[in-house]
Structure 1
């Protein structure tokens, strides 16, 4: 793997060493809520069996109901990262990726020999995407910019013979999910949804893809038998239930207030905050950002470096939105450092 690809595979978990107060990883909380842990513990009794077809169907049916789709339009994944790794199975001739954005799609496609065209623009401009790109990949909201693109503008990227991949890993952290395409059945549309962030399931790996059945069959064609374990299937079914969706939305509204407060304080400290922001993280810029990041680490706090995202520099940091008691510690440390 080239040095460039190694840099693209740098993620927030490499910053958040044990013992550090973590503002580098965009996972809400240290562990899943109690009701979800109980569901997972109850499922442990079935670990002696292979994951049942009925369990997969129940998970797909729950996700389908959540988005007003048919179960045949859902594919359960070991986290959205698996979905990105499967993208080469769709055999694109040329992929366009809207950057800055999460880098795993580019890694997977380039490792498979697919030519990748980077579209460097934090505001979605369909005219910048090459017409001959038969795969387009973007995040909504986008990591790390926290930008929410308009659904109708994203839909302009659809073309006959093109796969449009929309990473909605953080959409359930946006109050009301106003620009989601998860329930749309546009030709060639492939939407990825994650449970990892909102429900603190990074160690379990759970997510799903939404698309027309033919696309999902191609995506999954070379997966092994029993590709997803019973615990991720249980998690998907549980987190797509109406009560869970309502709880996620209530938390999204609460964290929106936390984000606004954090943005104001960071601005007061001299950071340029990328706004409008909608996701549970902020992209900030300051000429001394690298020194600030290293000084915070010496004080037991981890934030995410920004220069591993195409289009960003060492002057950028991504900072996760946390509850006030954690944010107060971050701000106190920043005042010392600055």
Structure 2
């Protein structure tokens, strides 16, 4: 069991199961009605191949959302596909800002690309000194999550810009950016660089988290036209199915953006309630959370995880993230009743076992 928990290809869905209250997977509970209606309307079309018109509509929606031309957009079968395409850039040395999502490392290692793990110290915020001191000068690819999974750290856009260097491509994983909010102004996506048309920066985005569509696999990539052409070379035809294209059009479109505005505000409130509940138990978040999940550290993370599972609650062990370990647990933000249930269960575990 512990060997599986430490495997880099283990994700939150491995910690969840039917019937468990799910704090392990960072996906909303289900798609909104307007997305379901749009998908349902196209079910009769599944006997036909995806059309160029469907793809064009999805690209147009992404272009409008981020103020970029169609030539700088590549639709993806899930954001993870974007990492699988990176070796096509002829990368010689990749630097990964850790701890972070494990898929970029898996994809790059599978392609035989040398990797340097740039492991940040807690609170895992990348600074100018870190860039100069830790990132190899010959790294022609740097990958960073923003906000970072699983730490919930949101790096300033200026930090992303500081990663740029001659001969280097910077990849920013913004899978959870659409639910980030500036606590002062209320602005959504305050540190996103998706609209910055830097020629050496790739932004990878996902719709499956916020819209509860993990089973559909849909996302997109934003980059300079030349990079898009290189990533697209030799790609299979019909890379995305009809329903994925429809979902992208709806989720990235105007109605989808209004939905994100509502969900981002709701999640911020629920997250504050979760943090308050944890603090009432003497558990301080490992770092101030700015994404739809909270990272905590306890005395016996694996023990707490199993005790919660016995009580019907799934949480994500962070044991397999570079730079973390078995004492860390990631908690997805859920609604108030679910949060109250989790806090009560943690209180019971802490009182009876001392695992916290």
TM tier, shorter chain? over 0.9
Give the distance between the partners of 2:178 and 2:286, measured in 1 at CA. Answer: 20
Deviation at 1:186, TM superposition (A): 1.0
- Is the Cα–Cα contact under 8 Å of residues 5 and 320 in structure 2 kept in the other structure? no
The alignment's TM-score, normalised by the length of structure 2, stands at: 0.92
Runs of 4+ in 1 over 6 A off after TM superposition: 3-6
The alignment's TM-score, normalised by the length of structure 1, stands at: 0.96
Cα distance change on mapping 1:137 and 1:171 into 2, 3 Å? same
Give the distance between the partners of 2:118 and 2:220, measured in 1 at CA. Answer: 26
Counterparts of 1:222-301 in structure 2, within 5 Å, are 222-301=234-313
- Is the Cα–Cα contact under 8 Å of residues 76 and 240 in structure 2 kept in the other structure? yes
Q: Please state if 1:191 is matched with 2:193.
A: no
Gaps of 5+ in 1: none
Give the distance between the partners of 1:288 and 1:303, measured in 2 at CA. Answer: 13
Counterparts of 1:48-67 in structure 2, within 5 Å, are 48-67=47-66
Deviation at 1:254, TM superposition (A): 1.3
Deviation at 1:264, TM superposition (A): 1.8
Deviation at 1:57, TM superposition (A): 1.2
Give the distance between the partners of 1:20 and 1:260, measured in 2 at CA. Answer: 23
Cα distance change on mapping 1:296 and 1:4 into 2, 3 Å? closer
- Is the Cα–Cα contact under 8 Å of residues 168 and 200 in structure 2 kept in the other structure? yes
Cα distance change on mapping 1:6 and 1:299 into 2, 3 Å? closer
Give the distance between the partners of 1:209 and 1:90, measured in 2 at CA. Answer: 14
Give the distance between the partners of 2:44 and 2:227, measured in 1 at CA. Answer: 34
After superposition, the C-alpha distances for 1:229-269 in whole angstroms (9 at most, x for unaligned) are: 11111111111112210221121011101111111211221
RMSD: 1.4
Give the distance between the partners of 1:63 and 1:6, measured in 2 at CA. Answer: 36
- Is the Cα–Cα contact under 8 Å of residues 4 and 10 in structure 2 kept in the other structure? no
Q: Give the paired residue count.
A: 335
Deviation at 1:60, TM superposition (A): 0.6
- Is the Cα–Cα contact under 8 Å of residues 174 and 249 in structure 1 kept in the other structure? no
Aligned match of 1:8: 8
- Is the Cα–Cα contact under 8 Å of residues 160 and 187 in structure 1 kept in the other structure? no
Gaps of 5+ in 2: 182-187, 351-356
Give the distance between the partners of 2:9 and 2:166, measured in 1 at CA. Answer: 32
Q: Please state if 1:149 is matched with 2:155.
A: yes
Deviation at 1:45, TM superposition (A): 2.0
- Is the Cα–Cα contact under 8 Å of residues 110 and 116 in structure 1 kept in the other structure? yes
Give the distance between the partners of 2:6 and 2:245, measured in 1 at CA. Answer: 31
Aligned match of 2:353: none
Aligned match of 2:24: 24
Counterparts of 1:9-158 in structure 2, within 5 Å, are 9-29=9-29, 31-121=30-120, 122-125=124-127, 126-127=131-132, 128-158=134-164
Give the distance between the partners of 2:67 and 2:275, measured in 1 at CA. Answer: 35
Deviation at 1:18, TM superposition (A): 1.2
